[in-house]
Amino acid sequence: MGLLSGKTAIITGASKGIGKGIAETFAKQGANVAFTFLSSVEKGQALEQELQQYGTQVKGYRSDASKMEDAESLIAQVVEDFGGVHIVVNNAGITKDTLLMRMTEEDFNRVIEVNLNSVFNMTKAVQRTFLKQRSGSIVNISSVVGVKGNAGQSNYAASKAGIIGFTKSVALELGSRNIRCNAIAPGFIETEMTAVLDEKTVQQWRDGIPLKRGGSAEDVANACLFLASDMSGYITGQVMNVCGGMLT
């Protein structure tokens, strides 16, 4: 019996990186997994095939959580396909890094739209289902950059800090209905996105982390598993830093 046996989870942006790690961990722990992808269609289809091995119900959906109508139709479709939903992990996100003096309005707005609006859209869309069943766990993927800021990432930092404020507010609003909402702030996580970076730079980053290594998608997924499961039944409105001590 897994920690999420009998539960259905929706994970946005799960075709690669952290989202993929979360989908795999959840399926291994007995969850039925509905996940979304947008541009990575082939990777999304491959993940759907891959997760079949764990014997739970799995389905990928091409959906853009930054659009409210997409979020609403996704929730309705998942409830129809799976018979319900118990967990939502808001992971979809992008970066458009550049110094403020070079950042366009489009660079700023698009990152806010994808990273922050998507969390509002998905939470708003699933709220009615969760209120009806008087239970639910929402896990929002923020970032240490949203906690401490980072030069060249003012748009990304603003979006990820916004997620933290939103998470705490939703926890206060919905706690009386046994609906929990928490955030995870990953630090330097080594995924496909970081694999293209200069190895020397990456090693310098690792050296600056107390645990002397970058995190893995699995490290974030394990924290996510805890917050999604009944093991964290008395935890809401919190931000868990998964950063190897970077923020200590």
Give the pLDDT score at 248.
83
Active-site residue flag, 54: no
Please, is 71 exposed, middle or buried when counting C-beta atoms within 10 Å of its C-beta (0-12, 13-18, 19+)? buried
For 8-242, CATH gives 3.40.50.720
Please give the helix or strand (H or E) that residue 185 lies within, else none: strand 179-186
CA distance 142 to 146: 7
Q: Specify the pLDDT at position 31.
A: 98
Contact 242, 220 (CB under 8 A): yes
Question: H helices of the chain, where?
Answer: 17-28, 41-51, 68-82, 105-112, 118-133, 144-148, 154-174, 192-195, 199-207, 217-228
Domain limits of the chain? 8-242
CB 79 within 8 A of CB 129: yes
Which among 54, 61, 156, 234 is annotated as catalytic?
156
d(CA 112, CA 146): 12
Per-residue pLDDT 10s for the chain (248 aa) are 799 999 999 999 999 999 999 999 999 999 999 999 998 889 999 999 999 999 999 999 999 999 999 999 999 999 999 999 999 999 999 999 999 999 999 999 999 999 999 999 999 999 999 999 999 999 999 999 999 999 999 999 999 999 999 999 999 999 999 999 999 999 999 988 788 888 998 999 999 999 999 999 999 999 999 999 999 999 999 999 999 999 98
